[in-house]
Chain A
């Protein structure tokens, strides 16, 4: 079922990581990505794996959920691995073969890097509600407002999009079921037939998406929404002790990876 897609879905919980300020988590993920792209040797990659597994353990996110989220990305990961496997110069594993020892190492590291990258960002969205995430993003990008970047509008659009993804998925599921009950067939037939079969889903979906957008606009207007100017928040964001600890650990991670890189590990 469509609903089983966990991509970017929030898993409520009450672990330390869930309770961190969203800004902390955003910055931490940024640091994590910087570290990841500078992890060259096996030792550095080992550190990254350890950090990722530890974060998963602390936030009670199981490997199963991560794998579920990784599934749609499998193709990209496999493709990158294959390309690296065949297009890396070096010593062939046997005389006359194009596969090289360097190629194998590169493709394993590439797979690892992409997997860790996706896992890291998933951990962010799994442990942070969309609302908190966009709130944090808006606060972090606040300085850009001075440059007349419409930060508030952008984050508002983002939070609305995030808010409505599950609704739209649910609705798609419902419409699909209803059309299946009328004998619709989405699984067989050639490409044109299959594209045609989507029409009975897309039309009602668009109709209802527009209706929802309309209703939302009216609801916001009737509650006097008039942009971000002077708007206060129900949930104020506060840095606490654990946030500073987390940020410190993030910086430590980056520093450590750079040290390892320096020594070529």
Chain B
């Protein structure tokens, strides 16, 4: 199954102009099948630039991106095929909707893959199911729906291509908490059912703590840390130095510990906090 590896990847925008800017430098990573990854980093740290290399939308200034050991930028065929294996949902994907109906828009990707008609219909139905797009919306124009609904349709449009690796660039930006949670739950459900690798770019630490098994933290265009949530969130002070928070639960646990309540184990989700407080027997007296 798909193993994506990134070697010494550097990308510089607008080379040779006064606007020259090295967005990422010397990134080395390996992403294996079935992982659930969250890519974190302050604004401008190069996350979007990085993920666009993983399906050959951007070509490295130097370095390599390989899938199963083969360079994805080898020629124009490998560059085309990688887009079917690595699905990328852009930041604010709702602006890319263009078809007359919701169903046609979701079908755009599979159609480009030249799949047979009934297969396309199956995939549209399945992708809509994963992202909670109701069948009753299929014949509506995507442009007249709400922002949250558009977002789901755009995500469905990529899922319909059944990528082995699904990457979402800030899928919940600009949505209300309830809307964000359903989208994140949908993505989780998709991963569990399909076995795909999922990588989410996010600013939201609570989402990262809750939905990812591996966190990759970018800072100033390099990988600042790569590890489990426990490992990453243990470094509270340094995280805030590079402009990031820790999850609410971790912060709260820290505050409680400082007041002398002995909480055990690593705590970064609400559930862990609740359990630790119960175990400590410290029921607040109010």
Contact = CB atoms under 8 A, between A and B. Distances in A.
B57 interface: yes
Given A181-B88, A182-B161, A12 B18 contact: yes
Interface centre among A11, A181, A199, A208 (most CB of B within 10 A): A181
Given A4-B14, A199-B98, A207-B143, A183 B109 contact: yes
A200 B109 CA distance: 11
A43 B113 CA distance: 62
A179 B83 CA distance: 11
Q: Is the interface of A mostly helix, strand, loop or mixed?
A: helix
Interface string A182-225: 11110100000000000110011001100000000000000000
Interface footprint category on B: 20 to 34
A11 B158 CA distance: 38
Interface footprint category on A: 20 to 34
A11 B20 CA distance: 12
Contacts of B97: 204
B98 A13 contact: no
B102 to A, nearest CB: 14
A64 interface: yes
Contacts of A4: 14
A200 B108 contact: yes
A182 B98 contact: no
A225 B98 CA distance: 34
Contact of B18 (A11, A179, A183): A11
A181 B157 CA distance: 10
Interface of B: 14, 16-18, 52, 55, 57, 76, 80, 83-84, 87-90, 93, 95-98, 108-109, 112-113, 143, 157-158, 161
Interface of A: 3-4, 6, 11-13, 64-65, 174-175, 177-185, 187, 199-200, 203-204, 207-208
Given A6-B17, A182-B109, A207-B143, 17 more contacts: A12-B18, A174-B90, A174-B95, A179-B108, A180-B83, A181-B87, A181-B158, A182-B83, A182-B112, A183-B112, A184-B112, A185-B112, A187-B76, A199-B98, A200-B108, A204-B97, A208-B95
The 9 closest A-B pairs by CB, nearest first: A183-B112, A203-B98, A178-B96, A182-B109, A181-B88, A178-B90, A200-B98, A177-B57, A204-B98
11 contacts: A4-B14, A65-B17, A177-B57, A178-B93, A178-B95, A179-B96, A181-B57, A181-B89, A183-B80, A183-B112, A183-B161
